[in-house]
Amino acid sequence: MRTTLKRGIGRGAAPNGNGRAVLPPGALSPITIYRQPEPPPRSRWAYVRTALAWAGIALLVVIGSAAGGAYLWFHESVADVVATTPEVKVAAKRLDVALPGQPATALVVGYDRRAGDGKGTQSRSDTIMLVRADPETKSISLLSFPRDLYVPIHCPGRAPFGARINNAYATCGTKGTLETVRKLTGVPVNYLITVNFRGFRQLVDAVGGIWLDVDRRYFNDRGGDFGYATINLFPGYQKLGGYQALDFVRYRHTDSDLYRVARQQLFVKAFKDQIRASAGPLDLPKVIKTITRNVEVGVGGNTELDGRTVLEYALFAYSLPPGHFFQSKIEGLEETAGFDILAPEANVKKGVQEVTHPDVE
């Protein structure tokens, strides 16, 4: 076989063909070295531009870190209000699923535990309210139920019985209140919000107090474990702190539960106005922390509350047109000698009609 060496091709070839290695022509010739030309001297403004560029990069890093921290803080706050107690988690399984773009209704249950209650005593539900958000009419509607309203109580696993509506919570917890309100109104409930009143006064103080027009003198200096709460308020437009606001919305020493519902609705409107008008960025973390300590939220469909849902409802509530916040009530209520509140069935249906079909015109 012929090879390249025998043919005189390659580094090993030589003119006489004897196989001695030779170098390519010019391999040992001088080499020309090329150098990068020196840059022109930089002006003072060039150094300034460089410094500003690095400062901008540093600022972007700081902003990105802050945004990431805010993102994590927000989602941790949302996670803190997800239903965790067994009672609320069981009740949440009975909720209806909220459909995208459709009205959604939440049942708000405010409960309290008094100092005189013994260990194992069931807390009382002082506030029962339906809150409905309607994206089509861009409205939010509230319907409050007097705690002494006499209704059929529906506790899962038990036969219905007649009692005050707050007895549903005392008898079988949150699921009892949910089933009782759903049977009474026929309204699907998509969210369940339980509020511990221990945080009520903290929330009021977190936003700097609430401005309210107190209609008359409220005074009671004889409290106790089984009596009415003490209160000392003078009439007039004034700022109420947490303790005063709680006394105001719960007072019923010389009037009935009907007046207390009106005071609660007055407080809700004043609190909404306060949040929108004066709560600054420095107040927000304090408000969020107070809420997450005292609120649990159950979601229909056996799912957990997510940050996107919270933001959507927050923006929806903040951007409501003027006059699109409605507070409905059940008319024609009568108080018996035993201080029970009676309401004709037709009046309950009318109140439900007002909250589900608000007159935005």
Total number of domains in the chain: 2
Residues 136 and 58 in one domain: no
Strands (E), 94-199: 104-112, 124-134, 139-145, 150-153, 161-164, 191-196
Give me the phi and psi of 114, to 5 degrees please. Answer: -85, 155
What CATH code is carried by the domain that includes residue 307?
A: 3.40.630.190
Residues 61 and 90 in one domain: no
Residues 263 and 335 in one domain: yes
> For the CA atoms of the chain, what is the radius of gyration?
36
Nearest to 246 by CA among 289, 205, 194: 205
- Among 22, 54, 80, give the residue marking a domain's end: 80
* Prediction pTM value: 0.67
What 8-state DSSP symbol labels residue 97?
P
Query: Which domain, by its residues, includes 67?
Result: 43-80
- Among 30, 55, 80, give the residue marking a domain's end: 80
Residues 255 and 266 in one domain: yes
- Mind listing the pLDDT tens digit of every residue in the chain (361 residues)? 554 444 444 544 555 555 555 555 555 555 566 666 666 665 666 655 666 665 665 555 545 444 444 444 455 556 666 777 888 888 888 888 888 888 889 998 888 755 445 555 556 667 888 999 888 888 888 898 888 889 999 988 889 999 999 889 988 889 999 999 999 999 999 988 888 877 788 888 888 888 888 888 888 776 554 455 678 888 889 998 888 888 888 776 666 666 777 787 788 888 877 777 765 554 667 777 777 778 888 888 877 777 677 777 777 777 778 888 888 888 888 877 777 888 888 999 999 998 888 887 7
What 8-state DSSP symbol labels residue 25?
T
Residues 58 and 189 in one domain: no
For residue 67, how far is the Cα from the chain centroid? 19
**Is 37 inside a domain boundary?**
no
Distance CA 8, CA 133 (A): 94
Alpha-helical (H) ranges within the chain are 44-80, 86-92, 167-185, 200-206, 242-250, 257-278, 284-294, 307-318, 345-356
Residues 126 and 224 in one domain: yes
What 8-state DSSP symbol labels residue 192?
E
Which H or E element spans position 152? strand 150-153
Q: Residues 244, 233: contact at Cβ < 8 Å?
A: yes
Give me the phi and psi of 166, to 5 degrees please. Answer: -75, -10
Largest CA distance in the chain: 135
In the numeric block, which tokens belong to residue 24?
């390519």
Counted residue by residue, the chain has a size of 361
For residue 133, how far is the Cα from the chain centroid? 14
**Is 29 inside a domain boundary?**
no
Q: Residues 140, 326: contact at Cβ < 8 Å?
A: yes
